[in-house]
Amino acid sequence: MARLTTLLAAGDTTQQPPIPIGEHWLQTGSGLLAINWDTIILTWLVIALIVVPLLIVSRNFTSGVPRGFQAVYEFVVEFVNGYAEQSLGTRAATLMPLALTLFVFILISNYLGLIPIPYLKSPTADLNTTLALGIFTFILVQALAVQERGVRGHTRHFFKPFALFFVINLIDELARPVTLAFRLFGNIVAGEIMILILQALLYNAPFLLLLPMPIWIGFSIFVGLIQAFIFMMLFLAYIGLAVEHEPEEERHGEPLGTAPAQPEHA
């Protein structure tokens, strides 16, 4: 992403510090060959924030009434599992852990940029991260569709309901990872930009941040949760569409729903 510097001044612009938007503090290469090492480091930090506490606390999990972190963990698992069963039915048990992982990873990534620590940004504020999540979802959906329907069956659905719809169906399929990536990226970046704008506008009067900053951070927490939820729901919906079978129009030459003829008794 291009480096963009914005100066917002409340009076004298020479006293206002620059605000880096979309700038990476640890990057090598340029263009398509650029590697954003800061995003990679922060991504591993998010993974550590998920895995390490879970490994430590899970040793004390009990089969009785859940308390503390175990209660939160079981609530999140049941929450995701409920939506997985609605979208995938009997296949929910297999794909629910992946949907849960995506939900928690995106949620923690969204919240990381809200912590007021320099150089600490949301990995999901990097288009490379959200595109990777979108492309991963796209590849998984195609693989499951081919596994469930076969190559011919999966290809045939692009021509439904008529052959003329092939281009529209193909564009719709290819647009899914792009829309997943840009929706998540745009909302998270917008939240971080608004926080920076508030800081810049009130640079000379930080005490005024006591009112708007908590309100906006609270709204950003809500948006971060909603975006993680939407990504997970679309992930489940796309997989559900990929693995469902086309309804048969005929069964042994009879219209669907027609009861088999009963033999006449002599």
Greater confidence, 154 or 25? 154
**Band of the pLDDT at 205, cuts 50, 70, 90?**
low
Residue 18: predicted pLDDT: 45
Look at the block and give the residue holding tokens 């490994």. Answer: 55
pTM: 0.79
Please provide the average confidence, as pLDDT, over all residues in the chain.
79
The number of C-alpha atoms within 13 Å of 252 and in the hemisphere containing its C-beta is 5
Q: Which residues of 110-139 are buried (b: 16+ CB within 10 A; e: fewer)?
A: bbbbbeeeeeebbbbbbbbbbbebbeebbe
**Band of the pLDDT at 236, cuts 50, 70, 90?**
very high
Question: Mean pLDDT throughout 126-138?
Answer: 93
Residue 29: predicted pLDDT: 80
Q: Has residue 43 got a pLDDT over 90?
A: yes
CB atoms within 10 A of CB 64: 7
Distance CA(106)–CA(228), nearest Å, equals: 5
Greater confidence, 6 or 213? 213
Q: Of 188, 185, 194, which Cα lies nearest the Cα of 19? A: 194
Q: Which residues of 36-59 are buried (b: 16+ CB within 10 A; e: fewer)?
A: bebbeebbeebeebbeeeeeeeee
CB atoms within 10 A of CB 100: 17
Residue 244: predicted pLDDT: 75
Helix H or strand E encompassing 175: helix 166-201
Greater confidence, 6 or 92? 92
**Band of the pLDDT at 103, cuts 50, 70, 90?**
very high
Residue 185: predicted pLDDT: 92
The fraction of the chain above a pLDDT of 70, given in percent, is 78
Report pLDDT digits (tens) over 144-184.
999 888 888 888 888 888 888 889 989 989 999 999 999 99
